[in-house]
Amino acid sequence: EPTPEEIAEVTGIDPEEVDSIKRSAQSPVSLEKPVGDEEESEFGQFIADEKAESPFDRAADLLTKEALKESLENLSYRERRVLELRYGLGGEHPRTLDEVGRTFNVTRERIRQIENQSLKKLQSLNEAQKLREAT
């Protein structure tokens, strides 16, 4: 059987394209085709879903969300709500300072102050938690 390079030379097609054509000409294999010595498994069970989130990433995401939720519980309702609205937490879409200000009937400058104060409070709580864990 000629190599892809030989076919490419004769036909004037790129060797990569020859490989692609050869692969597409192969007979399809059913994902339900039994495989293994006992034929108890199906071929499709061994193909990774590239679009699916890995279990590790999913677990890390859940832990991060849980930690964030617990941290936000240390804030007042107003501080927590400002951060939720500003950063799109809890299913919200991120909002501008003006939009959040209108929600609370205050200026965008006041929302910026509350946001900064809340973030500093979360940071200090996080640092205190790290100190407790270190001792």
Give the 3-state secondary structure of the chain.
Answer: CCCHHHHHHHHCCCHHHHHHHHHHCCCCCCCCCEECCCCCEEHHHHCCCCCCCCHHHHHHHHHHHHHHHHHHCCCCHHHHHHHHHHHCCCCCCCCCHHHHHHHHCCCHHHHHHHHHHHHHHHHHHHHHHHHHHHC
Give the model's pLDDT for residue 76: 95
- pTM above threshold 0.85: no
CA distance 31 to 28: 9
Cα→Cα distances 30→27, 34, 45, 51, 122, Å: 10, 9, 11, 20, 53
Provide the residue-wise pLDDT of the chain in tens; the chain has 135 residues.
888 888 888 888 898 998 888 888 887 778 888 887 777 788 777 777 778 877 788 888 888 888 888 889 999 999 999 999 999 988 889 999 999 999 999 999 999 999 999 999 998 888 777 767 777
Give the model's pLDDT for residue 111: 96
Give the model's pLDDT for residue 58: 82
Task: Name the residue type at position 6.
Answer: E
Give the model's pLDDT for residue 71: 87
Give the model's pLDDT for residue 78: 96
Give the model's pLDDT for residue 69: 87
Give the model's pLDDT for residue 104: 96
* Domains, the chain, ordered by start: 74-134 (1.10.10.10)
Give the model's pLDDT for residue 90: 81
Q: Cα–chain-centroid distance for residue 72?
A: 21
Residues comprising the chain, all counted: 135
Give the model's pLDDT for residue 50: 79
In the block, tokens 């995401």 appear at: 61
